[in-house]
A and B are shown apart, each in its own frame.
Chain A
Amino acid sequence: MKHTELKRILVANRGEIALRIGRTAREMGMEWVAVHSDPDRSSLHTRFADIAYSLGGSTPAESYLDAGKIIAAAVATGAQAIHPGYGFLAENAGFAQAVIDAGLIWIGPPPRAIIDMGDKITSRQIMGAAGVPIVPGMAEPLADAAAAVAAAPGVGFPICMKASAGGGGKGIRVVRDPKDLESAFKQASAEAQAAFGDGRMYLERYLDQPRHIEVQVLFDAHGNGVHLGERECSIQRRHQKLLEECPSPTIDAATRAAMGETALQAARAVGYQGAGTVEFLFSKGEFFFLEMNTRLQVEHPITEMVTGVDLVREQLRIAAGEELGYDQDAIVMRGHAIEVRINAEDPANKFLPSTGTVQNLRLPGGPWVRLDSALYNGLEVGLNYDPMLAKLIVWGADRAQAIERMRRALAEMNVGGVSTGAPAALRVLQEPAFRAGDYDTHFLESLDLTEDFLKMGDVAAIAAAVFRHHKARRSALQPTAGRRDAWLSRGRAARAHYPLPPSASAGERADRSHA
């Protein structure tokens, strides 16, 4: 593969990730093209780019998901390569192929690798063949209890039974003791039969205290690959991550090396190139392949902070055909990094989405604080786009320092106009179990996030009362424009003698006389 000098790239994304990619491009002496929808005309990524290209449209389907428009934008602006970011078209093999077919460079893995890893069953088969550990389970559903009893030893206890047609928690049973298997199967199967009209069940090993741990890998186009250690992403709810850390407090050096080697094996099995992430479930010393994300991850900055490697720079170098130029020994993990996602949601109200206009923004700073953000005063947070507004990242010499630094930075930050999940992260950071590194993927959902854990409700009450007092006083002293108008127009209406239609209300009369 020949080496291409990249001078201008197009970033097919929005928000903080578009900005993050553009920043590295500029640091590498390249120009970057931002594409934007109509509502994003004044967004940060549009304003910070060298070239802003309007895709038109207001929904994602009309803009950031429209492959044809994006490729046309690259051609029109003379961009040589397209970086998809994450989300939108990042894991769309058809788009990747279309970019390549248009004679452009695709900053991502080969389309075949996206396809192989994109399907759960296919990827499981490929991984199994490549010797990558997968959660023990049956490839085919079972129809009766006798078959389940026969298959159970091959899966291993505890066993989780799931309805073949499953959903909504119906027909799920966890069996810890082999003697309970038969009756549990019959119950669950009957439940599934009633709910879905299909009583067939899958058996899978149930993992106690599962932790979500993922390994970052980088492969160039010349067959060289390295892993950059793991990230722990177990602080999540309904698979929505809130806080990530690097390295994981539960992984020792030997496990890290083993997981890293397994991740490289997994990536090689699909001929991977570029930056990718291999996700594992880790439970009591065992780890199992979950899936591979064939793109840059949201939480990539914590790996960057700990390894000192700019992952976007490596992506661009790899796409240009360069060799990595270093081996596994060059990757050293130093200190500890934590990321908190600043999402527009209300943690005190079951993380319901929050919308509004961002105002009163106060951003954190100080030593070893990084903010990857698309926030600005006046940003409209609606329902069209992902609720993630920013990522706050800190580095510390060790985990305890990183935790204290993140608490300090979160206390400095204020996002007005919408509610964010940041207080939930603050709560997590002060929990003794989290601080001891002892948590799993159920931890966040086990916390009561409605309570006032800072115990500063009285100070807030004083502030609110004084705020209201000032507000009431101001409006008493200075009549609002609306009030004065109403008073004036009432006065004029009283003097108006021409006939008015009898149906008109007092308000309408006032408006007419005013005009």
Chain B
Amino acid sequence: MKYFVKVNGAEHEVEVVERLGDLEVRLAGRPVEFHYHEVNSHGQISLTVGERSYGISVEGDCSDVVVTLAGQRYAIDIEDERERAAGLAARARGGAGGPVKSVMPGVVVELLVAEGDEVEEGQPLLILEAMKMQNEIEAPTTGRVAQIHVATGQAVGAGEKLVTIEVPPAE
């Protein structure tokens, strides 16, 4: 199976093939000599790539994975070939926007846009107060505000939808 792995904005193509119970990995088409061993069921992994050894931890689900490696935290988006194809089809239909979700629990202090507004990438959509701090939640992409899912004063949990942005189909 081929995976499209997005790390810090850079995309890596990783192919994982199972052969006689062993995994073979290719990174951008080149075979990688590696060993992957789960130390426990909580995500402590012993990984060697070539001769280099890494004590890493991995957590997450199938599409969002967090890898902590040498003190650096990598938040990773991952798609397999099927999901990639479905994603491309959706983008072609003009669905590249989607919901902006809350990354943390908090309270909506102020809405800065209304449904139907055209927004620019990076434009603040609303102010979310969390941990006594006011945080501006920005539009991830240029588009139109299709729906606002929250109201001023509302408490939201992590992962909850805040605003849905719609992107017109590419010409």
| Known contacts A346-B103, A362-B44, A464 near B68 by CB under 8 Å | no
**Known contacts A353-B130, A422-B71, A459 near B54 by CB under 8 Å:** yes
Is A368 engaged at the interface, CB distance under 8 Å to the other chain?
A: no
Which chain B residues border A360 with CB–CB below 8 Å?
A: 42-44, 57, 59
B47 within 8 A of A: yes
Interchain CB contact under 8 A, B58 and A467: yes
The residue in chain B whose Cβ has the minimal distance to the Cβ of A465 is B14
Residue A451 CB within 8 A of the other chain? yes
Q: Is the CB of A454 within 8 A of B25?
A: no
Give chain B's interface secondary structure class: strand
The CA-CA distance from A126 to B34 in the complex, in Å, is 67
**Which B residues touch A460, using CB under 8 A?**
7, 56, 67, 69, 74, 76
Q: Which of B8, B25, B59 contacts A462 (CB 8 A)?
A: B25
Q: Which residues from chain B contact A330 at a C-beta distance below 8 Å?
A: none
Which residues from A are CB-within-8-Å of B62?
Answer: 468, 471-472
Asked if B65 contacts A464 (CB within 8 A), the reply is yes
Whether A463 touches B58, Cβ cut-off 8 Å, given contacts A352-B135, A353-B104, is yes
Q: Are A463 and B12 in contact (CB under 8 A)?
A: no
Q: In the complex, what's the smallest C-beta–C-beta distance from B129 to chain A, in angstroms?
A: 9
Q: Are A457 and B70 in contact (CB under 8 A)?
A: no
* Interface contact A457-B131, CB-CB below 8 Å: no
- The A-contacting residues of B in range 49-68, CB under 8 angstroms, are 49, 52, 54-62, 65-68
User: Do B36 and A466 touch across chains, with their CB atoms under 8 A apart?
Assistant: yes
A: interface residue count bin: 35 or more
Q: Which of A213-221, A413-421, A436-444 contacts B (4 or more CB under 8 A)?
A: A413-421
Q: How far is the CB of B99 from chain A (nearest CB, A)?
A: 17
A504 CB to closest chain B CB, in angstroms?
27
Interface residues of B in 14-28 (CB under 8 A from A): 14, 16, 18, 23, 25, 27
Q: A473 vs B17: C-alpha distance in the bound complex, in angstroms?
A: 12
Residue of B nearest to A422 (CB): B71
- Bound: A465/B43 CA distance, A: 14
Report the separation of the CA atoms of residues A459 and B27 in the bound assembly, to the nearest whole angstrom.
10
Enumerate B99-122 residues with CB–CB distance to A below 8 Å.
103-106
Tell me whether A423 and B72 are in contact (CB under 8 A): yes
The docked-state distance in angstroms from the alpha carbon of A353 to that of B158 is 11
Name which residue of chain B comes closest to A451, CB basis.
Answer: B8
Please determine whether A355 and B1 come into contact, CB atoms closer than 8 angstroms.
no
Neighbouring B residues of A468 by C-beta, 8 Å: 3, 62, 65, 78, 80
- Bound form: Cα–Cα A78–B68 in Å: 46
Shortest B67–chain A CB gap in Å is: 4
| A387 in contact (CB, < 8 A) | yes
For A463, give its contact among B8, B36, B71 (CB under 8 Å).
B36
Select from chain B the residue with minimum beta-carbon distance to A427. B72
Please measure, in the bound complex, the distance between the C-alpha atom of A467 and the C-alpha atom of B69, giving whole angstroms: 14
Chain B residues contacting A471 (CB-CB under 8 Å) are 61-62
Across the A-B interface, give the 3 residue pairs with the lowest CB-CB distance, nearest first: A461-B12, A465-B14, A353-B131
A-B contact pairs, 6 of them (CB 8 A): A353-B104, A354-B104, A450-B9, A461-B12, A461-B27, A464-B74
